Amino acid sequence: MVPPRLQTRLARLRRALADVTPPTAGAEPSPARTRLNERYHWALQLAVLITEHRSIEHRIGTVVVRGFVLDMWKVFEDFLMATAAAAIARRGGTGVRPGSGATRYLDHGRTVTIEPDLTWCDRDGKPVAVIDAKYKTIASGKSGPSADMYQLTAYCTALGLREGHLIYAKGDTASNAVDIVGTDIAIYCHALDVTAPPVEVLASIDKLVETMRGSEQR
């Protein structure tokens, strides 16, 4: 999933660092601050905090921090949709993210847009599956929150699909289907074990995509 140019750069770094060995825990060298490394003193300070297993507290102290915040729901969504799109491409389709394809609407007047996290389109550009990521927990044997069901039902209705797929960040990894009253739409709820090793997480996503393709072909 890493672009070829970045793979080349990373491989070059690996070769450059081939003779570097991990330090002994608790005996890491303390980098000296000099005029020559002044531009990355903050990086050195962060490295010391990490290697000494120290943390930051909200109290008066001597450590000055430059902080940043991650929106974990966005990290989860972007990772999941990127890997799912790659799995779809391996099966001859295209994973379309919001803004990268034709705008789709919920109403005939074309005033209400829909933006699924990922739309699986076939070679002709026809939607065959819709996928939405949810950074939430799904209880064992349960469906997702009602709002998620409403959202996917709207997507399926607008796209003319019989099935939609919700993927949660935590919960029972066994898929659970919800048949929507008055329609022929079924919403499938899946969960990933994000605590598994990266290789297993990627394999789980690939397996989910294969399951979706099988269900869409029925």
**The dihedral of CA 82, 130, 140, 175: what is its sign?**
negative
Say whether pLDDT at 214 is over 60: no
- pLDDT at residue 218 in the model: 47
Contact present, 162 and 185 (Cβ < 8 Å):
yes
Which sequence spans correspond to the domains of the chain? 4-51, 72-217
The values of phi and psi at residue 61, to 5°, are -160, -170
Helix 198-217 crosses helix 72-90 at what angle (to 10 degrees)? 60
Contact present, 193 and 204 (Cβ < 8 Å):
yes
Structure confidence by residue, pLDDT tens digits, 58-102 = 677 777 666 667 888 999 999 999 999 999 999 999 999 988 877
pTM passes above 0.75: no
72-217: which CATH topology? Answer: tt1808, chain A (3.90.1570)
Structure confidence by residue, pLDDT tens digits, 167-211 = 999 877 677 888 999 999 999 999 898 889 989 999 999 999 998
The values of phi and psi at residue 166, to 5°, are -105, 130
